[in-house]
Amino acid sequence: MTPDPRRWWALGVLAAAQFMVIMDTSIIAVALPDMQAQLGFTPSGLQWVFNAYAVALGGLLLLGGRLSDLWGARRVFAAGWGVLTLGSVIAAAAGDAGTEVVGRAVQGVGAALLAPAAMTLLMVLFAGQPKELPKALAFYGAAAPAGGTAGVFLGGVITEWLTWPWVFVLYVPIGLLTLALTPKLLPAVPGRPGGLDVGGAIAVTGGLALAVYAIVQAPERGWTSTATLLQLAGAAVLLVAFALLQRAVRNPLMPLKVWRTPDLAAANLAMLLLGAAWIPMWYFLNLYVQQVLGFGAFASGAALLPMTALMMVLMTTVTGRLIGRFGTKRLIVTGLAVLAAGLGLLATANPDGSFAADVLPGSLVSAIGMALVFIPATMSAIGGVAPEQGGLASGIVNTTYQVGSALGLAAMTAIATSRGGDRLGDAVALTEGYSAAFVAAAVVALGGAGLAAITLRGSRTKDEDPTPVRV
């Protein structure tokens, strides 16, 4: 099969999509306190700036993957960028908390369309190129921490010298440029005939959203209150209905036989717990830096930059080589354990602490852990499936990470709130609440390491150089 001569340039466009999807989660970090003050978010409600995006993205990724199969990956990729750009306009123009959450949810819908389409396009571009595919995957995977790095820094710069709506305005020209480049660089992948499992999409998205909402509201209502129990039961019913529908419908969003693929379930479990530990760490570390240490917007962005820069460097230059030498299983287990250690360090933060003593060491150790896990877990999840199922496997692994992120953040916010994490202005109470969240996230990461050690078979690439190619 003759390789596409534009494949590396096209990979740049696809990596840019991954970059922007992840940046959309990190660029808001520094702006959160300003958004809370201006839009009227409560301390517990503030997390919906992240969770509205994560729930929409995680709940609709499988539908995005199915639409990519039916309508063609390039067409869905372009549609995703259009919807993401629209959501950015809504979020930027929001004058109240409700509108902001709607804008973030629309952004999540757009990301759910473009992310699986991008992976399908990548697999098409490098089909028949076994030596280049690992390099392309490493480059694509490295765009995630690069987006996180850029988001943290740009969020600080924009919030400090402009205003928070500009963190969303930024997406508009980038989206328009990507839409212009899409037909020039990306291959036209024909769609395949088939039906659309709308019921499954509604059930899985509704179930996830209801579960997150119940966990968010539980600290105020009580974990054993009638409302909480009914909402959790409703979420369980919807998720069970989704599983049953996948057995019954002719064209399911997630054919259950894909789970027979070796390591698919284990790798997705690792990604679920990675998201449940990493995103709360990032969220509460940012709040600690601003609300306890008193850093301004730019200083806060700069404070998180070493962590994300180290993660990006490791993922682009080291992780690929370590996969070739040690295999994916060892890296995933070790990385989750290292992440737990970093979270443990962050849990020792003091209300009168400093960046050098209370933020930098724990954040750097956590970054090393994340860098060791993310690409190996992704490769384990998609490496064993047939090429025509690459988009489905990508959608599943992205879904589990986003679901873990949303549920983990909801749970850790509930824990932090119960320990004083909602007492703005009280540095001692805030630190105690945030430390409790760090400890809980560390337990999740350590549990993930243990489960990965038991469930993963692992893989090792001996004949291929996994070093990423730069374009």
- Please, which residues have CB within 8 angstroms of residue 330's CB and are 6 or more apart in sequence? 458
pLDDT in tens, 84-108: 999 999 999 998 889 999 999 999 8
3-state SS string for 250-261:
CCCCCCHHHHHC
Mean pLDDT score across all residues of the chain: 82
Task: Identify the band that residue 265 occupies on the pLDDT scale cut at 50, 70 and 90.
Answer: confident
Q: Which two tokens stand for residue 83?
A: 């919807």
Domain 7-196+251-455 has CATH 3.40.50.300: no
- Please, which residues have CB within 8 angstroms of residue 240's CB and are 6 or more apart in sequence? none
Tell me the backbone φ, ψ of residue 96, rounded to 5 degrees.
Answer: -150, 170
Q: Which two tokens stand for residue 438?
A: 């760090």
- The pLDDT value given to residue 87: 94
d(Cα 69, Cα 117) in Å, to the nearest integer? 8
Query: For the residues 15-36, what does the mean pLDDT come to?
Result: 78
Q: Which residue has the higher pLDDT, 135 or 169?
A: 169
Q: Which residue has the higher pLDDT, 444 or 115?
A: 444
pTM (predicted TM-score)? 0.74
- The pLDDT value given to residue 465: 41
Query: For the residues 10-32, what does the mean pLDDT come to?
Result: 78
pLDDT in tens, 234-244: 999 998 998 88
